Amino acid sequence: MLAPQIRSMVVTLACTLATRAIAQSAPTAPFRIPFQVPTKIGNARLRDSTFVAGAMAYRYEGRRITSFDIYVWPLPTDSLDSTARDTLLQLEVAKFKEAAPVGVERGWYEDYSIAFDAPHPVALDGDSLPGYVVALVFVHRGQRFASFFYIYAVQGMYLKIRLTVPGDDWGSNPALDLPATLVQSVARKR
């Protein structure tokens, strides 16, 4: 279990990075989410939800998870074709990577590196939903963490997922399956 101050730091980092990116592309008017956000995803349970910087934010907790947050807000209305959506998703990836040094500047972590940045399509019934993932490995007070940023366009909405797990053996952490499980769940419900 993480010390409360480390959990708080990770949550603050995730919220700040997400808020910066969302604020640049989120609407100011109310909106309806066309899918049900699940109360349980694998072993993670929904603990809180709120409206933050133009997006609905959902916080989950679960085993071997430091933080797990989901942000949902509308895509621009002119992004109906797949090329436009893909360009917008790539822009969100670029914003996340630009914001990463803020953690060092503000003392949230001593060091970080981007472990990988890649397409992350999610398999659906006979098809796949395009998306992207960026993995950021950072050190805070001598402890390593792996933080993942996922972004998808689902039913006219951005679906941004931030998952942070302890750094030891992060590649084998079953929590890494949760983003795909979530995307499959909300993309199939029409």
Residue 40: which CATH number? 3.40.1000
* Distance of alpha carbon 141 from alpha carbon 132, whole angstroms: 29
Question: Structural domain tally of the chain?
Answer: 1
Question: Which of 133, 143, 112, 108 has its CA nearest to residue 10?
Answer: 108
Q: Residue 126: its pLDDT value, please?
A: 84
Strand partners, 72: 56, 159
pTM of the model: 0.83
* Distance of alpha carbon 138 from alpha carbon 91, whole angstroms: 23
Q: Residue 189: its pLDDT value, please?
A: 62
Q: Residue 15: its pLDDT value, please?
A: 44
Note down pLDDT in tens along the chain; length 190 residues: 445 444 444 444 444 444 444 444 555 678 999 999 999 999 999 999 999 989 999 999 999 999 999 999 999 877 778 899 999 999 999 999 999 999 999 999 999 999 999 999 999 988 899 999 999 999 999 999 999 999 999 999 999 999 999 998 898 999 999 999 999 999 986 5
Q: Identify each DSSP E strand in 32-129 by its residue range.
A: 40-41, 44-52, 55-61, 67-74, 111-119, 122-124, 127-129
Q: Residue 81: its pLDDT value, please?
A: 85
7 and 166 Cβ atoms separated by less than 8 Å = no
Q: Give the tokens for residue 56.
A: 């609905």
How far is residue 170 from each of residues 8, 88, 109, 136, 166, measured CA to CA in Å? 20, 28, 18, 11, 6
Q: Residue 26: its pLDDT value, please?
A: 53
* Distance of alpha carbon 167 from alpha carbon 66, whole angstroms: 10
Residue found by looking up tokens 């803020």 in the block: 102
Q: Residue 109: its pLDDT value, please?
A: 93
Residue 168, domain extent = 4-188
